[in-house]
Amino acid sequence: MSNHSLSRFLWFTGLIAVQCFIFSRLPLGTFVFPCIYVLFILFLPFGYSRVWTMLWAFFMGLCVDLLSADVVGIHIASAVAVAFARSHILKLFSTKADFDAYAIPSSNTQGWQACSGYVCVSMMLYQAVFFLLDDFGFYDLAHTLLRILLSAICSAAFIMLLQTLWPNNRKTPVP
């Protein structure tokens, strides 16, 4: 196992553990649900294939669902939606110069404003899928929209803080 694969696996398991055993148990009320494990999906290299990104997202969502959720599938669907849209969202917030296939999207490679925009839009998508599936309808849409907004802001803030710990190697192998 290469050094990059080992590092990626350790981030994978570490973020799942932190999400399931710390963030899922934070008493933040019904309006705020921070999801930080999405950091792993968001900060894969630019050139990472969509299929591999969606597979990582599926397995991350499955692990989080099995370890901390009441309903299996909500985290899977939300994470896979973000993984599917990731390349399109990256194009919105990155320039052609940023798209070195080996570079990792971060505030160092994209700049703080572009990176935070990328994270915020991705987390809005994640939380929208999550809460619309969780509520299973549009009964109390104002309540759901408030939950989406507050959870996305909280998640994006935690992710932007944690991304400073993310390894910023420019030469990460891309499968």
- Rounded to whole angstroms, the Cα distance separating 39 from 50 reads 16
- Hey, is 132 helix, strand or coil? helix
Q: What integer pLDDT is reported at residue 175 of this predicted model?
A: 39
Phi, psi dihedrals of residue 121, rounded to the nearest 5°: -65, -40
Question: What tokens were used for 75?
Answer: 């985290």
Taking only the tens of pLDDT, the chain with its 175 residues reads: 567 678 788 888 988 998 888 888 777 777 888 899 999 999 888 888 899 999 999 999 999 999 987 778 999 999 999 999 998 998 888 776 556 667 777 777 777 888 889 999 999 999 999 999 988 777 788 889 999 999 999 999 999 988 877 655 444 444 3
- Rounded to whole angstroms, the Cα distance separating 57 from 87 reads 14
Q: pTM here?
A: 0.87
User: Residue 97: which H helix or E strand, with range?
Assistant: none
- Rounded to whole angstroms, the Cα distance separating 45 from 99 reads 9
User: What sign does the CA torsion over 72, 76, 79, 85 have?
Assistant: negative
Half-sphere exposure of 104 (CA within 13 A, CB side): 22
Q: What integer pLDDT is reported at residue 120 of this predicted model?
A: 95
Phi, psi dihedrals of residue 91, rounded to the nearest 5°: -65, -30
Class of domain 3-162 (CATH, top level): mainly alpha
- Rounded to whole angstroms, the Cα distance separating 90 from 135 reads 29
